[in-house]
Amino acid sequence: MAPSAHRTRAAAVLRMKQIALDNQGRTIRRLRAQLATERRGLATTKKELEDTQVALEASHKVIVGLTEIGLSMSKKIEKMKVKKQQVKANHVECHQKFQARIHEAEDSMQAQHLIIEALVEEKDSLLQTIQGLKEAKNALAPFDDEWEEEPEEQPEEEEIEDIPLGEGEIDDE
């Protein structure tokens, strides 16, 4: 082999190594660019995850607040139900008391009516007895068609005397 062939071979090997190094450099630059892109994507994803975490924490606080409001409203509703039952019970009690009073008044009115009927019957009986006695004596019945009405006495208006009051004197007696 000729010495120029060695040089040509050595140059070819060097060129091949240079090409391989260039290819490796390009691959490294491409991988570094991909790595930078991935890092930016990861940073963006990390930022989105942090934002999501903040939003989740805020949502959790809102849910806790709404839960507390719901519990408070449930307690208020229960109190209102109890109050409504108490009002209803009071209403029923008042209604029963009024019904009892109405029945008492009706019973009283019925008793008064019976008493009035008995008095009317007794009056009629007394009038008949008086009529019978008058007829027995051949006298006129005391209750004829004509009634003598007595004039109503009008009470005289009493004059009120003006009583002079002493200046500054107060009588405690």
Q: CB of 151 within 8 A of CB of 159?
A: no
* pLDDT score at 173: 47
How far apart CA 43 and CA 39 sit, in angstroms, is 6
More confident residue, 2 or 20: 20
Per-residue pLDDT tens digits for 44-93? 999 999 999 999 999 999 999 999 999 999 999 999 999 999 999 999 99
Is the predicted pLDDT of residue 159 greater than 80, yes or no?
Answer: no
Is the predicted pLDDT of residue 158 greater than 80, yes or no?
Answer: no
| Own/partner pairs, 95-101, CB within 8 angstroms, 24+ separation | none
In a 3-state reduction of DSSP, which class is residue 152?
Answer: coil
How far apart CA 101 and CA 110 sit, in angstroms, is 14
Is the predicted pLDDT of residue 154 greater than 70, yes or no?
Answer: no
Q: CB of 142 within 8 A of CB of 134?
A: yes
Q: How far is CA 169 from CA 11, 58, 161, in A?
A: 147, 82, 19
Is the predicted pLDDT of residue 2 greater than 90, yes or no?
Answer: no
Token pair of 140, please?
């006129």
| Neighbour tally for 148: CB within 10 Å | 4
